[in-house]
Amino acid sequence: MACGFRRSIARQLSRLLDLPPENLIKSISAVPISRKEEVADFQLSVDSLLGNNNDHSRPDVQVQATRLAEKLKCDTVVSEISTGQGTVNFKINRELLTKTVLQQVIKDGSKYGLNSELFSGLPQKKIVVEFSSPNVAKKFHVGHLRSTIIGNFIANLKEALGHQVTRINYLGDWGMQFGLLGTGFQLFGYEEKLQSSPLQHLFERLGVHFDEYSGESFYCEKSQEVLKLLDSKGLLQKTIKGTAIVDLSGNGDPSSICTVMRSDGTSLYATRDLAAAIDRMEKYNFDTMIYVTDKGQKKHFQQVFQMLQIMGYDWAERCQHVPFGVVQGMKTRRGEVTFLEDVLNEIRSRMLQNMASIKTTKEVENPQETAERVGLAALIIQDFKGVLLSDYQFSWDRIFQSRGDTGVFLQYTHARLHSLEETFGCGYLNDFNTACLQEPQSVSILQHLLRFDEVLYRSSQDLQPRHIVSYLLTLSHLAGMAHKTLHIKDSPPEVAGARLHLFRAVRSVLANGMKLLGITPLQVFLCCQIQHAPHHNGKSIC
């Protein structure tokens, strides 16, 4: 992808280097935009071509870059070739860049960036994602919010890449009366319990769904089968207290001992997770199973995966734990310990208060829903900005800022761009003249749109949403700066049409990225509803 430019460059390089184009594609990356100067569009890291030679024997990287650049020629795609620090840089023909990028964004729609050569040859896999997983006997805690939004993001991304994803909500119901009354009533009980919970409400705003609800009690009998299997393999040891353990070190190391049975013969969390994993492999024959929980369960999953291995299940290596850190300082105005219900109520009330404080003649059709969706976007962006494993300090005031790197700003940008399309779209969206989009602001946006596939690729590799968040925030800032100078109203029709195409492409990619993160882009959230929104000539820029 990057609209085929990367492959075109790879073909020319392959002839010089005598390497297949496929071997070069991932060494060619889009250049991050610079506010100070216009940069090239793509760069080849010469260092990556020199392979594993040690530093003493390989030629000087800069010399190699210069020699390679001298042998390359400009063509109908590449208009300029230069060198950087250990790189060969390529500038794409500006009119071709404009036309190709904008046409590709509109043509691919929600698949833009996903049809990239970076993902070519990617095998379609069966993936199970277990996330959310609250204890239904207790009040829903804010920790379940992190598991829910992170797991939803991972499942969204995997589905977007064409994998067959099964979403599982593994409910903690051990000891619950309804959880022990048989599968039929068990499932009814779960759904009934969830329907009245704030978590279910969260699922419906976010569009989160599950393919399977199961609970620990479902594996009551199967966990006994696991204990028998461990015993038959000579792995089960009885302690003086009557409990059963598995020594994963083989030498009595206390840190490697996992208790799998109580003294009364009943199973424990680890045993039921073993039973659930075995059952899911039989049911789904998965290629990968991902567990999304807090980092406090890291050791637990290490032991579960290790036990599966020594029990003879080679597929244990397909199991993966995605841990996340702790949110600190998340309290309501009353200063109480925060449960999920408190968080959702706080989001709604704060956003409604912000909206009510703005004087406007326009009204939002459904202010409650709008407030919730903008508030949840703010919450998700703050959560996803950093490394998932890191703890972070929560701030209500910071997440609701309309300026800066927040979810409110993303919703604001999307709504503003949608407003432009609604106002001017009818007369201008038929065709456009690429020569009308050669200003630095336009080129910066086009260059940034080129990078979307690389960002998706990075997130698909490490399952971190921060790459997409950073990309979308930069895209929104670029759109904001462009909007101040690239006016549509009162511009010649040809210029106005070209600019509208550009802003339409930005909105499309912005919406794609937001949906992957689990955010519903709002079209009716009026930008004049946002505090401190930028203005143009004293009027709302919408």
Concatenated DSSP letters of 282-342? HHH--SEEEEEEEGGGHHHHHHHHHHHHHTT-GGGGGEEEEEE--EES-B-TT-PBPBHHH
138 is catalytic: yes
Catalytic residue among 26, 99, 125, 141: 141
Residue 138, φ and ψ in degrees, nearest 5: -120, 165
> What are the contacts of 344-348 at 24+ separation with CB within 8 A?
344/198, 344/201, 344/202, 344/372, 346/396, 347/371, 347/372, 347/375, 347/376, 347/378, 347/379, 348/372, 348/375
Strands 126-130 and 164-171: parallel
Q: How far apart are CA 286 and CA 158, in angstroms?
A: 13
**Is there a catalytic annotation at residue 300?**
no
Do the Cβ atoms of 322 and 389 come closer than 8 Å? no
Q: Which of 91, 144, 193, 467 is catalytic?
A: 144
Q: Is the dihedral of CA 54, 59, 65, 68 positive or negative?
A: negative
How far is the C-alpha of 354 from the C-alpha of 357, rounded, in Å?
5
Instruction: Select from 263, 232, 240, 259 the least CA-distant residue to 248.
Output: 259
Q: Is 144 a catalytic residue?
A: yes
Report the distance separating Cα 441 and Cα 16, nearest Å: 35
How is residue 142 written in tokens?
């804010």
Among candidate residues 73, 138, 241, 532, the one labeled active-site is 138
Give how far the C-alpha of residue 192 lies from the chain's centroid of Cα atoms, to the nearest Å: 30
Q: Report d(CA 28, CA 118) in Å as an integer.
A: 10
Structure tokens at 89: 């840089």
Dist CA 243 CA 306 (whole Å): 20
Catalytic residues: 138, 141, 144
